[in-house]
């Protein structure tokens, strides 16, 4: 249940391959095989490269869909105005459990990504290239690719290229988090909105796009805009990389021309003939019902019109034999745990939204539904990054898409179906040493309330509001809560300050930690086991 996808799942192609050319020959295209399959590539001037990106309607493939040509010109203008050399960053930080397309490309066709990045660097006059990754396999493959090209981070090099390794966390894939880590900081959003094209790595104008985007640019530069446009739709030409998982017989990554029916993609992966719903765009995406999924084609416009989202290319159907709200709750809880813990909408709002969805499932009635709607509205457009917005949108889409099940839980005794755990989630793992941002994972502890001692003073809710809230009676509304690492210090403080000694920290068997950094109290012991009680 909810098992993680492998780094490189099965790869299939509909039509003629472009990004996946050569995958039928070798597992990984080294530089020699890459040149045999794709051929050499000549540099292109800056305006020519921007014009090429415009002609093929190239948009970012990481989820936001921002026009690449506009981003390229913005970086060039900023660099010229300021008189500084820009930086090029490849975002290969594919940390969402339902996405593997970029990971597949980095592992199997790293030189195609480097081709696009080096084209952009040459056109802009950049002398620094950073490739952000989060996995052992992608780090190894990209380091090897740089070595095969003779690229390094040594001083005096015409182009200094390096791989930036970050922990596998949802927020590390956010552009500002990657830039911050490349500058030596933690892999978390900085909390201030600054365009990378104005000020990115080292304060320089920075062209940042995801791995597939650079690979698409490399393909178009080789075959030309006209031939590139012969594949797919007129308004969204070319191919699209998709990750299909959920209730399917064969989780896979597919390269398909835009315009392919979504139902055909689902059929290839062995999805149920009549899915209860299809989550599109990943865990910051939207649900489509079976009818909409049957009629839609793989394109941004078509899926948006059908109520879905292409996003980062994740497609996840669920069958009729599972509770869709229960499946969504597992994802909502995971999204809440992925918080960077540095802004209220994230570390307070997302756990509250997950608890609100849980209240609905537990028969909270119309009041619980209204409370959930208020929470999701309060979360949006107030975070330090897009994680709160995307997570709130996912919950809102869940509530809107499964109205019959929602009514059964809100007005009755539930839908009667079990939760199968068909949506993949990340395996819990300790962050890599030295990767930065290692305080955002599970601590392996839980904060527990001893009801025989609790007197309702409420200090705990003031100190750790992300873990404990007070109910209408003035007492904590939960008996125990898992403690993420970013809340450990506050959890210890809450234990120490409880006047009634009613709080304790215990081992959390559901979330083991590889490296516990704070003492764990055995059940039944109070604050004196931690010391004097002073902060």
Residue 211 lies in a domain: yes
Residue with tokens 């969504």: 328
pLDDT of amino acid 466: 66
Residues written for the chain:
535
The two tokens of residue 232 are 């797919």
Query: pLDDT category, 430, cuts 50, 70, 90?
Result: very low
Q: Is 451 helix (H, G, I), strand (E, B) or coil?
A: coil
Residue 523 has pLDDT above 60, yes or no: no
Same domain, 103 and 118: yes
Residue 50 has pLDDT above 50, yes or no: yes
Asked if residues 204 and 107 have their Cβ atoms less than 8 Å apart, the reply is no
Same domain, 387 and 482: no
Query: pLDDT category, 510, cuts 50, 70, 90?
Result: low
The two tokens of residue 290 are 């079976």
Residue 419 lies in a domain: no
- Around 394, how many Cα atoms within 13 Å sit in the side-chain half-sphere? 31
- By DSSP bridging, strand 442-449 and strand 314-318 are unpaired
The two tokens of residue 427 are 């395996």
DSSP for 282-343, written as a single string = GGGSEEE-HHHHHH-BSSHHHHHHTT---TTSEEEEE-TTS-HHHHHHHHHHHHHHT--SSS
Residue 337 to residue 485: CA distance in whole angstroms = 10
CATH code, domain carrying 399? 1.20.1440.230
Residue 241 lies in a domain: no
Residue 356 to residue 522: CA distance in whole angstroms = 30
pLDDT of amino acid 508: 75
Residues pairing with 10 in the sheet: 252
CATH code, domain carrying 293? 3.10.20.600
**DSSP state at residue 491:** H
Average pLDDT over residues 514-529: 35
Domain, as residue range, for 490:
442-530
pLDDT tens per residue, range 215-248:
999 999 999 999 999 999 999 999 999 999 999 9
Residue 261 has pLDDT above 70, yes or no: yes
Residue 520 has pLDDT above 60, yes or no: no
pLDDT of amino acid 493: 83
* Domain count along the chain: 4
Q: Which residue has the higher pLDDT, 2 or 370?
A: 370
Query: pLDDT category, 503, cuts 50, 70, 90?
Result: very high
Residue 407 lies in a domain: yes
Average pLDDT over residues 383-397: 89
Query: pLDDT category, 263, cuts 50, 70, 90?
Result: very high
pLDDT of amino acid 521: 33
Residue 239 lies in a domain: no
Query: pLDDT category, 269, cuts 50, 70, 90?
Result: very high
Residue 525 has pLDDT above 80, yes or no: no
Residue 480 has pLDDT above 90, yes or no: no
Please give the model's pTM, rounded to 2 decimal places.
0.81
Residue 202 has pLDDT above 80, yes or no: yes
Same domain, 77 and 185: yes
CATH code, domain carrying 448? 3.30.70.20
pLDDT of amino acid 133: 96
Same domain, 181 and 268: no
Measured in whole angstroms, the distance separating CA 214 from the mean position of its chain's CA atoms is: 19
User: What are the residues whose beta carbons fall under 8 Å from the beta carbon of 345, sequence distance 6 or more?
Assistant: 378, 379, 380, 382, 383, 388
pLDDT tens per residue, range 281-321:
999 999 999 999 999 999 999 999 999 999 999 999 999 99
Same domain, 196 and 345: no
Q: Which residue has the higher pLDDT, 364 or 34?
A: 34
Residue 32 has pLDDT above 90, yes or no: yes
DSSP for 142-186, written as a single string = HHHHHHHTT-B--TT-SSEEEEEE--S-GGGGSHHHHHHHHTTS-
Residue 31 lies in a domain: yes
pLDDT of amino acid 428: 47
Average pLDDT over residues 185-197: 83
Taking CA atoms, 446 is separated from 439, 482, 504, in Å, by 16, 4, 8
Residue 428 lies in a domain: no
pLDDT of amino acid 294: 94
**DSSP state at residue 345:** I
Rounded to the nearest 10 degrees, what angle do helices 387-401 and 403-411 cross at?
A: 80
Same domain, 359 and 400: yes
pLDDT of amino acid 159: 95
Same domain, 126 and 68: yes
Average pLDDT over residues 442-449: 83
Of 295, 318, 341, which residue sits at a domain end?
A: 318
Average pLDDT over residues 187-203: 87
Same domain, 102 and 25: yes
Percent of the chain at pLDDT above 70?
A: 91
Residue 429 lies in a domain: no
- Angle at the Cα of 352 from the Cα atoms of 534 and 174, rounded to 5 degrees: 95
Same domain, 68 and 198: yes
Of 196, 226, 256, which residue sits at a domain end?
A: 226
pLDDT of amino acid 206: 97
Same domain, 41 and 107: yes
pLDDT of amino acid 441: 58
Query: pLDDT category, 48, cuts 50, 70, 90?
Result: very high
pLDDT tens per residue, range 357-389:
999 998 889 999 999 999 999 888 777 788 889
Taking the CA atoms of residue 525, residue 527, residue 531 and residue 533 in that order, the dihedral angle to the nearest 10 degrees is -170
Residue 439 has pLDDT above 60, yes or no: no
Residue 328 to residue 180: CA distance in whole angstroms = 31
Residue with tokens 């005096």: 156
- The closest of 399, 257, 253 to 315, measured between CA atoms, is 253
Of 318, 337, 354, which residue sits at a domain end?
A: 318
Same domain, 297 and 406: no
Residue 469 has pLDDT above 80, yes or no: no
Residue 63 has pLDDT above 70, yes or no: yes
Sequence-ordered alpha helix ranges (H) in 56-157: 68-82, 101-108, 110-124, 136-148
Residue 531 has pLDDT above 70, yes or no: no
Same domain, 391 and 356: yes
CATH code, domain carrying 138? 3.40.50.11540
């Amino acid at each position: 249940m909810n098992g993680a996808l492998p780094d490189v799942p099965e790869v299939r192609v509909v039509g003629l391959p472009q990004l996946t050319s050569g995958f039928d020959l070798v597992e990984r295209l080294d530089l020699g095989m890459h040149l045999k399959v794709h051929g050499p590539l000549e540099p292109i001037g800056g305006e020519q490269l921007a014009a090429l990106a415009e002609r093929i309607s190239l948009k970012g493939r990481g989820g936001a869909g921002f026009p690449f040509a506009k981003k390229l010109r913005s970086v060039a203008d900023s660099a010229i105005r300021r008189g500084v050399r820009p930086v090029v960053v490849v975002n290969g930080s594919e940390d969402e459990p339902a996405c593997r397309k970029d990971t597949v490309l980095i592992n199997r066709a790293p030189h195609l990504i480097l081709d696009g990045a080096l084209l952009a660097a040459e056109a802009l006059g950049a002398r620094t290239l950073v490739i952000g990754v989060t996995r052992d396999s992608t780090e190894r493959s990209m380091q090897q690719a740089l070595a095969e090209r003779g690229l390094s981070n040594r001083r005096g090099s015409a182009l200094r290229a390096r791989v930036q390794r970050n922990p596998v966390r949802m927020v590390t894939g956010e552009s500002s988090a990657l830039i911050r880590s490349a500058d030596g900081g933690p892999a978390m959003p900085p909390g201030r909105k600054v365009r990378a094209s104005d000020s990115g790595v080292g304060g320089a104008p920075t062209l940042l796009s995801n791995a597939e985007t650079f690979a698409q640019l490399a393909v178009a530069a080789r075959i030309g805009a006209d031939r590139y446009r012969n594949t797919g739709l007129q308004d969204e030409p070319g191919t699209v990389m998709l990750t299909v998982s959920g209730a399917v017989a064969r989780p896979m990554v597919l390269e398909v021309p835009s315009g392919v029916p979504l139902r055909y993609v689902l059929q290839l992966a062995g999805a149920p003939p009549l899915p209860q719903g299809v989550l599109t765009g990943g865990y910051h995406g939207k649900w489509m019902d079976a009818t909409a999924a049957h009629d839609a084609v793989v394109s941004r416009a078509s899926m948006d019109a059908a109520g879905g989202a292409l996003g980062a290319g994740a497609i996840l159907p669920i069958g009729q034999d599972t509770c869709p709200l229960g499946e969504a709750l597992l994802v909502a809880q995971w999204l809440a745990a992925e918080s960077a813990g540095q802004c209220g909408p994230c570390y307070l709002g997302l756990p509250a939204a997950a608890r609100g969805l849980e209240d609905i499932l537990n028969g909270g009635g119309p009041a619980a539904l209204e409370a959930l709607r208020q929470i999701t509205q309060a979360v949006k457009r107030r975070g330090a990054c897009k994680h709160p917005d995307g997570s709130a949108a996912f919950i809102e889409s869940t509530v809107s898409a499964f109205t019959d099940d929602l009514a059964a839980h809100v007005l009755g005794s539930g839908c009667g179906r079990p939760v199968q755990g068909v949506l993949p989630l990340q395996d819990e793992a300790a962050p890599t040493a030295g990767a930065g941002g290692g305080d955002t994972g599970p601590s392996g502890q839980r904060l527990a309330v001893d009801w025989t001692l609790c007197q309702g003073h409420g200090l705990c809710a003031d100190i750790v509001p992300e873990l404990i809230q007070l109910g209408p009676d003035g007492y904590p509304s939960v008996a125990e809560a898992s403690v993420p690492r970013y809340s450990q210090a506050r959890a210890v403080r809450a234990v120490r300050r409880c006047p009634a000694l009613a709080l304790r920290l215990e081992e959390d068997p559901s979330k083991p930690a590889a490296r516990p950094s704070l003492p764990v109290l055995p059940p039944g012991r109070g604050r004196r086991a931690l010391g004097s009680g002073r902060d």
